[in-house]
Amino acid sequence: MNIMEKRSSYDAGFKLKVIDLAKKSNNCAASRKYGVTEKMVRDWRRNENALKTIPRSKCAMRSGAPFWPELETYLEEWVKEQRQNGYVVTRGGLKAQAIRWAKLNEPLCRNFKATSGWCSRFMKRKDLVLRQKTKIAQKLPADLDDKVLDFQRHMTGKIKAYLKESKIETVVIPGGLGDYLQPLDVSLNKPFKDYMREERSNWMVNGEKSYTAGGAMRAPSLELLCKFVINAWNKVKAETVAKSFMKCCIANPLDGTGDDLLWEIDEDEGQNYESSSGSDTYDEQVNEDGAPSEDQKLRRGSRMFHVPVCGLRHQLTSSTLVNLP
């Protein structure tokens, strides 16, 4: 079988062997020996220096040059600026910013589509990784002693009397266990923060902004920040709030059917547990006026919590959880 019919592409190592033979004899002899055309040999000899710079197993000499270099240069600087200011950059925000710039500079971005493939190639070309800081620092605050003394106000007689009057049980949580025992930490903080980032990203792309005389963008107004908070909190489902108490074993059924929630993990939203059923077993544990039922009062001794139900179905208010320093 003719080699020409069998092969459709040649790696750099093969091309360099052909070039070497062509130098020692001529292009015609090299083409006959390796079953290629003389034009191929001429083209390969013309690109010899480039072939020596790429891996021998690579066939094509694609440079990976972007189709929209001005756009990618702008986006690279934009990402650096966002990170320098401590803002989180996501793929969605990156593509939204690219679309916005492309619309403003249409002659430079013809046929541009912010696809996921383009985004991945852009990040690879610019060596960008979308990592997020979870904590700014791990060091203890310099005024730790003052904070510890100030924290004792939560244990004063006035506060205790108010909690008792409001029928709220005070729970003392050992240090380091807040992430496992507080509903906010377990199920609510993460989705709420994600929705807040989404609100800010939308504002960065489509919102009205003002700038200082030096050209720096001003921070969102207090009124706008309040709207961010309201919109983000409204996106948190009421079922998620109810499930957070069950996740912490605060309002689980007496028969133990809800205790397995402690070990469940939602892969999509980390520790955000949302109920998909039409009813909630927690409702069976309280009376119509929101007071704990008799069965609930008897369960687990000191682990009983007063969790009043306010207003809409599943709209729960949290017990006061106190962390000791």
Residue 113 pLDDT class (50, 70, 90 cuts): confident
Residue 139 pLDDT class (50, 70, 90 cuts): low
Spatial distance between the Cα atoms of 167 and 57, rounded to a whole number of angstroms: 74
Count CB neighbours of 274 within 10 A. Answer: 18
Rounded to the nearest angstrom, the gap between the alpha carbon of residue 283 and the centroid of all alpha carbons in its chain is 34
In the block, which residue shows the tokens 């052909």? Answer: 18
Beta bridge partners of 217: 211
Task: Give burial (CB, 10 Å; 0-12/13-18/19+) of 59.
Answer: middle
pLDDT computed for residue 322 by the predictor: 38
Mean pLDDT of the chain: 72
Measuring CA to CA, which residue among 262, 258, 254 is closest to residue 286?
Answer: 254
Name which residue leads in pLDDT, 200 or 323: 200
- DSSP secondary structure of 9-76: ---HHHHHHHHHHHHHS-HHHHHHHHT--HHHHHHHHHTHHHHHHS-TT---------S-HHHHHHHH
pLDDT computed for residue 252 by the predictor: 73
Give percent of the chain above pLDDT 90: 16
Q: How far is CA 112 from CA 75, 83, 115, 120, 167, in A?
A: 14, 25, 9, 15, 60
pLDDT in tens, 24-56: 989 999 989 998 999 989 989 988 888 887 777
Q: How far is CA 175 from CA 105, 321, 325, in A?
A: 54, 12, 7
Provide mean pLDDT across the span 12-16. 89
pLDDT computed for residue 8 by the predictor: 65
Most confident of 70-84, 261-275, 299-313: 70-84
pLDDT computed for residue 1 by the predictor: 41
In the block, which residue shows the tokens 């957070």? Answer: 244
pLDDT computed for residue 134 by the predictor: 52
pLDDT in tens, 140-192: 666 667 666 666 666 677 878 888 898 887 766 666 666 667 788 888 888 99
User: Which pTM value belongs to this model?
Assistant: 0.37
pLDDT computed for residue 86 by the predictor: 74
pLDDT computed for residue 76 by the predictor: 92
**pLDDT at position 109 over 70:** yes
Domains in the chain: ranges and CATH:
3-53 (1.10.10.60), 69-125 (1.10.10), 157-205+222-323 (no CATH)
pLDDT in tens, 225-258: 999 999 999 999 988 888 888 777 777 777 777 6
pLDDT computed for residue 270 by the predictor: 45
pLDDT computed for residue 234 by the predictor: 94
